Amino acid sequence: MSVSLDQLKAPELLYKSLAAKLVLGMPFKDLATVDSIILRELPPVDDADARLALKRLIDISMGVITPLSEQLTKPLPNAMALVNLKELSTGAYKLLPEGTRLVVSVRGDEAYEELEILKDIDATMLLHNIPFDEENIGRVHAARRLFEYLSENSLDFPVIHHIQFPNGTHRDDLVINAGTNAGALLVDGLGDGILLEAPDQDFDFLRNTSFNLLQGCRMRNTKTEYVSCPSCGRTLFDLQEISAQIREKTSHLPGVSIAIMGCIVNGPGEMADADFGYVGGAPGKIDLYVGKTVVKRGIAMEHATDALIQLIKDHGRWVDPPAEE
Ligand code: SF4
C-alpha cells in the first residue's frame, strides 16, 4: 500500500487501515495485514512521532519502502530503498548504509543489456511498473518478457505488480484494470503481490481490492471464500438474500470455503472444492454438505444458517469474529 505523510499523523488509524490488529495501541500483524508500504517522502529526522510510527511497523516485519534519495537524505533504519535501473547503473545506491535492502523498479520493456545489472545485486523484490501514459507496450506483455528474462537467468526475485492509476480513474475501471493486468499474470503464477497506487481513492477500497485480487488468484486467503451458483428456474430459495445472510455471519473465516447452491440437481456437483455446502434440497428445506458428502438433510430454512455455523464449529473451522478494541 502507498502511505502518505499525513497518514503518519494518526498512527493508530493508519495501523487499522493496514489491517494490523491493535493491542493497547500497538500494531500486530496477521494474515490480513498489508505486507509492505511505500512512502514517497520520509518524515523529517526530527519528527519523532512519525518516525516512531514507522519503526513500529518495521518492528512487526512490515516492509517500509522509500525512494533512494529519501533514504540517503533522511535515513530511516531498516527501511528499503527504491531504486530504478539507472540509479543502479550509476552506483548511487552504494552510498546507502551497508545492508540496506533494495527494491528495484523495472518496466520489463528495457533492453536486455540494461537488465543485466540485476545479476550483480541482491534485490529484496522487484516492482514491475509501466506508467499509464507510456504504455507503448502492453503491461502484460512487458511483464511476461521480464519473467522470461528472470527465468532464463535463474534470477528468482519476488516480483510485485505495481500499477499507478491517474487521478479521476473510476473505481470500476481500476478494478478491471488491476484484474486484467496483474490478475492475468498472478493466475499464471507470475508474480508475488500487488501494489495499487491511486492518490484520489479511498485507502480501504485499495486495500480490499488488492486482497480480493490476491484471493481471486488463489494466492492469499484473507477472508471466507464463497462459491455459489448463478441461480435458475430450479433455485429453491432467494439466493442473493440467503448469500448475504450467510456472508454476514461467516465472512471472517480465512481459509474456509462455503458453497451456496440453489438446488440438489446440479448444486453438489458444481460446488468445486468447497469445504461446506448449503444446498436447496426441497422447497423451504436445506441440505448441508461437508465437502461432497451430505451430512444433514431437510433442515428448515429458518434454522439452516445456524446449522451451517454449527457444522463449521463441529469441524473445528470456526473462530469468533474479532472484537473491536
Ligand atoms: S445449482 Fe441448481 S439452482 Fe443453481 S444454477 Fe444449477 S441447476 Fe440452477
- Condensed to tens digits (0 to 9), the pLDDT of residues 152-166 reads 999 999 999 999 999
Averaged pLDDT for residues 72-90: 94
- The atom number, within ligand 1, closest to the CA of 264 reads 2
pLDDT of 19 reads 85
Mean pLDDT across the chain, nearest whole number?
93
pLDDT of 166 reads 92
Q: Are 274 and 312 in contact (CB under 8 A)?
A: no
Length of the chain as a residue count:
325
pLDDT of 150 reads 97
Task: Say if residue 190's pLDDT is above 90.
Answer: yes
Strand spans (E) along the chain:
2-3, 21-23, 26-28, 36-39, 63-67, 80-84, 102-106, 123-128, 159-164, 193-197, 225-228, 257-261, 276-282, 285-290, 293-300
Q: Tell me the C-alpha distance between 185 and 271, whole Å.
A: 26
Q: Whose CA is nearest to atom 1 of ligand 1?
A: 267
CA of residue 282 to ligand 1 center, whole Å: 13
Averaged pLDDT for residues 318-323: 83
Q: 109 Cβ partners below 8 Å, 6+ apart?
A: 130, 136, 137, 142, 145
Q: In degrees to the nearest 10, what's the CA dihedral of 311, 212, 172, 144?
A: -140
Which domains are present in the chain? Answer: 2-216 (3.20.20.70), 225-314 (3.30.413.10)
Q: Are 227 and 267 in contact (CB under 8 A)?
A: no
pLDDT of 74 reads 94
Cell numbers 461467516 correspond to: 250
Averaged pLDDT for residues 7-20: 92
Query: Which residue ranges have their beta carbon within 6 Å of ligand 1?
Result: 229-232, 234-235, 261-263, 265-267, 270
pLDDT of 222 reads 87
Q: Which of 228, 236, 261 to mutate for ligand 1's pocket (most ligand atoms within 8 Å of CB)?
A: 261
- The atom number, within ligand 1, closest to the CA of 236 reads 3
CA of residue 239 to ligand 1 center, whole Å: 10
> Residue 206: how many CA atoms within 13 Å on its side-chain side?
22
Averaged pLDDT for residues 255-278: 91
Q: Whose CA is nearest to atom 5 of ligand 1?
A: 231
161 bridge partner residues: 128, 194
Q: Considering only residues 40 and 131, tell me which one the structure prediction assigns the higher pLDDT.
A: 40
- The atom number, within ligand 1, closest to the CA of 235 reads 3
Task: Say if residue 132's pLDDT is above 60.
Answer: yes
Cell numbers 484520489 correspond to: 200
Q: Which of 237, 263, 287, 292 to mutate for ligand 1's pocket (most ligand atoms within 8 Å of CB)?
A: 263
Q: Whose CA is nearest to atom 8 of ligand 1?
A: 232
